[in-house]
Structure 1
């Protein structure tokens, strides 16, 4: 991770301690202030990542009022700054209070400079990591709200959405299950002139044919048994807004004819009714089916196809979105950790590599479920590749020969340990290696040794 000059602001009014600290941190870009106004001026001009501050500052050098006011002003001006507070020896109350005010850490006087350097160095590392995370989030945020991705394939899809949304054209979203078709449909609605109108979605594959017709077109009271009152259909409810016909490729052929009439005349007739009701609605369709193949097989009307596909937007599968899987994984990790109350700091390098290499047949939905499960089950502060349970294909073809060999070697040792009941002499014999070599392998793969009673 690249890092600029490590700029450290020291806020201390004692000239002797100023000199000592400047000498101790000579390898840092040190800024020195003796009071609050000078400190705030240096903050504005130089934006240091870390501040080391005494609580006793003029005009209240014997108290802490000015010190706490300085902390508040610094964090209001630059909330990401890491403030380390120097407190009196045994002054636990002020140390705790400073943390409550937003300080990153504290150290007690007289200062142990070796420990202080460790605290300051750690503060710089944390600041750099947080800055990197903010950068990744800004890169991953596309122009469409809720859409995360920085790959060229995803940017192409977003550009198409931005271009077509202000029009009234019917949009067809094509993509595998789990590619985010409804998310993109909502983006089309949000960027359209109908954004203040309703967004109504219906899954054509999830509802039986008789019920689907009633759901779409509505029905009059007494139209059939159980129709106790007049009910508007989804098309009517979406008036002056947008209607998403999800999985339209699975709509029954008989119902496609009635839908075609709506597209042609923009009127609906409720079941059991005689009145033609005009509806002004933007239609967005989505499917994972190959509609041209469906047409050839007689399962989808060609004339309806041309109506629903005025503009077609293909959504790429996750395996074709180079680099997006790890961006999404970080996003899902943050959500899942907050939801389950787990303190997980991220992924190991191998885990991120496996995530980017895995084919994700279920696309974003599969990735989200995998990360959610890993967050729940993880035993460490970072999610490792073993927590993802991606199986033998977890690394995909991207695994190097070294990694393939290492994986096979570890599994062979684990099998031998099981067969030998943990007896290291027998394990070494089964593997064809010496006991010293076996010990090295156990250390290498962090496998638990048994006692030497064997």
Structure 2
């Protein structure tokens, strides 16, 4: 067991000697600081406990100095207050923005020690996560330690060992270019150029010259020779982003280069050998694009020798919160307020939201919230995700129950309430169907005979349609 004392910052005007002694007896090193001090907590301690005794402070005189101290000291803060002190809005705001918990005095010293210990433990968990935000298998600037990301890291290391073409598939905003960079930096070509081009961002009539370059006089305005992106990447890696948007006329030229490993600049006649590794990426469904004739199958098979699938943000579990905190730390200087993290409702919304824009959308929402936030914490409203706070997780039993009810309702709709036909379609007996109708609240339980139609409840979703169908049949 580690015998190193935990550090406690005890902020007060008149320290309790008995409380200090009790803390020291529980293996705490207590550092007493007056609220007006300009001295801050030691910076060589990763985790600190914090006790803020507001009952001894001179309020509101001490507020400014206390806020400065709390802003510059990363600790699990607990406040002690006198009865009625939380009626003051400034006190409530201070506790809400900075403290893990608060205690109304008088209470036994042991109660204070226990709550401070809990706050210290929570701060330790946060510090552990923040000290290793990438996970032990992380690659470059990529953040995450969930199983899909660990699988991605392993794939990066495998494909980096070869020169074969790599195709990265994934939704827009998942970080495909970061994956391409990580592959390049782990490859034998790491000291050579990494050149990227977005095939969907360059106008089709300019794409040929962007890829392969041109000679002087090749067209009006071509006053000197220009090296294309392919030639610029000679010896290194060429990243073709959004390859699914590459025009058909350019696809033929790229295929020829991949076959011969030589290029001809626009307006030139000599071939130039180029040694590059090709990494391509797209969010487009390539199977569908080939079926519709928008992308050449022979080119696709040249590009997709090795394939990597980029996981969407919604499949990355706790990485979502990890990424949000990382973005807050990275961009917090954009705002005018000193933000201390995300509120509980913001964290809940982050997990409940589906993130169709993936990591790119998360970055944009966090940056916007940093600028627009009016409190010390980013809320769900700041993220514009207030509608996702109350979304409750669905258990497996609840999901099965909902799916069963939905299947019964659809079958009843298709057969206009005729139970024999409904039971036959669902491959269950009529008696079982009666039981399920009652269990799901779709019939009154008074009918028990097999030869009488049960009373469909008027509030069931299929009731009106079923009745309408019966009237039409009559």
Q: TM-score, normalised by structure 1?
A: 0.65
Pair 1:131 & 2:131 matched: no
- Aligned position for 1:297: 292
Cα gap change, 1:284 to 1:82, in 2 (>3 Å): same
Cα gap change, 1:198 to 1:130, in 2 (>3 Å): farther
CA contact (8 A) 2:200 2:243 kept: yes
- Aligned position for 2:343: 348
Tell me by how many angstroms 1:319 deviates. Answer: 1.4
Tell me by how many angstroms 1:397 deviates. Answer: 5.4
Pair 1:247 & 2:242 matched: yes
CA contact (8 A) 1:51 1:82 kept: no
**Mapping of 1:254-403 within 5 angstroms?**
254-390=249-385, 392-393=387-388, 396=391, 398=393
Tell me, in whole angstroms, the C-alpha distance in 1 between the residues paired with 2:203 and 2:312.
28
Tell me by how many angstroms 1:359 deviates. Answer: 0.5
**Mapping of 1:186-197 within 5 angstroms?**
186-197=181-192
Q: Deviations over 1:204-228 (max 9, x none)?
A: 0011112111000000000001111
Cα gap change, 1:339 to 1:130, in 2 (>3 Å): farther
Tell me, in whole angstroms, the C-alpha distance in 2 between the residues paired with 1:256 and 1:247.
13
Tell me, in whole angstroms, the C-alpha distance in 2 between the residues paired with 1:314 and 1:135.
29
CA contact (8 A) 1:179 1:316 kept: yes
Cα gap change, 1:77 to 1:153, in 2 (>3 Å): closer
Tell me, in whole angstroms, the C-alpha distance in 2 between the residues paired with 1:270 and 1:207.
18
Tell me, in whole angstroms, the C-alpha distance in 1 between the residues paired with 2:361 and 2:133.
19
Pair 1:180 & 2:175 matched: yes
Tell me by how many angstroms 1:172 deviates. Answer: 0.6
Cα gap change, 1:195 to 1:122, in 2 (>3 Å): farther
Tell me by how many angstroms 1:7 deviates. Answer: 3.1
SS of the aligned residue for 1:312 comes to: strand
Pair 1:25 & 2:38 matched: no
Tell me by how many angstroms 1:358 deviates. Answer: 0.4
**Mapping of 1:95-106 within 5 angstroms?**
none
Q: Deviations over 1:127-180 (max 9, x none)?
A: 655533331134530421211122222221121111111211211110111010
Tell me by how many angstroms 1:5 deviates. Answer: 8.5
Q: Deviations over 1:338-373 (max 9, x none)?
A: 333431111122221110110011111111111111
Which of 146, 152, 170 lines up with 1:151 in the alignment?
A: 146
**Mapping of 1:53-68 within 5 angstroms?**
none
CA contact (8 A) 2:197 2:240 kept: yes
Cα gap change, 1:397 to 1:214, in 2 (>3 Å): farther
Tell me, in whole angstroms, the C-alpha distance in 2 between the residues paired with 1:76 and 1:294.
56
Tell me, in whole angstroms, the C-alpha distance in 1 between the residues paired with 2:114 and 2:332.
27
Tell me, in whole angstroms, the C-alpha distance in 1 between the residues paired with 2:392 and 2:209.
49
Q: Which runs of 5+ in 2 are unaligned?
A: 9-15, 34-38, 52-64, 76-105, 396-474
Once the two structures are overlaid, the 10-residue window that deviates more, 194-203 or 133-142, is 133-142
CA contact (8 A) 2:47 2:74 kept: no
**Mapping of 1:16-55 within 5 angstroms?**
21=17, 24-26=20-22, 28-29=24-25, 50-52=29-31
Q: Which runs of 5+ in 1 are unaligned?
A: 11-19, 32-47, 55-70, 85-94, 106-113, 401-454
CA contact (8 A) 2:345 2:389 kept: no
Once the two structures are overlaid, the 10-residue window that deviates more, 177-186 or 137-146, is 137-146
Once the two structures are overlaid, the 10-residue window that deviates more, 334-343 or 278-287, is 334-343
Matched positions, count = 343
Tell me by how many angstroms 1:26 deviates. Answer: 2.4
CA contact (8 A) 1:203 1:245 kept: yes
Tell me, in whole angstroms, the C-alpha distance in 2 between the residues paired with 1:236 and 1:148.
32
Cα gap change, 1:5 to 1:345, in 2 (>3 Å): farther
SS of the aligned residue for 1:347 comes to: coil
Tell me, in whole angstroms, the C-alpha distance in 2 between the residues paired with 1:134 and 1:282.
40
Cα gap change, 1:286 to 1:241, in 2 (>3 Å): same
Cα gap change, 1:76 to 1:340, in 2 (>3 Å): closer
CA contact (8 A) 2:209 2:266 kept: yes
Q: Deviations over 1:47-69 (max 9, x none)?
A: x6x44379xxxxxxxxxxxxxxx
Pair 1:164 & 2:159 matched: yes
- Aligned position for 2:215: 220
CA contact (8 A) 1:194 1:241 kept: yes
Tell me by how many angstroms 1:22 deviates. Answer: 7.4
SS of the aligned residue for 1:316 comes to: coil
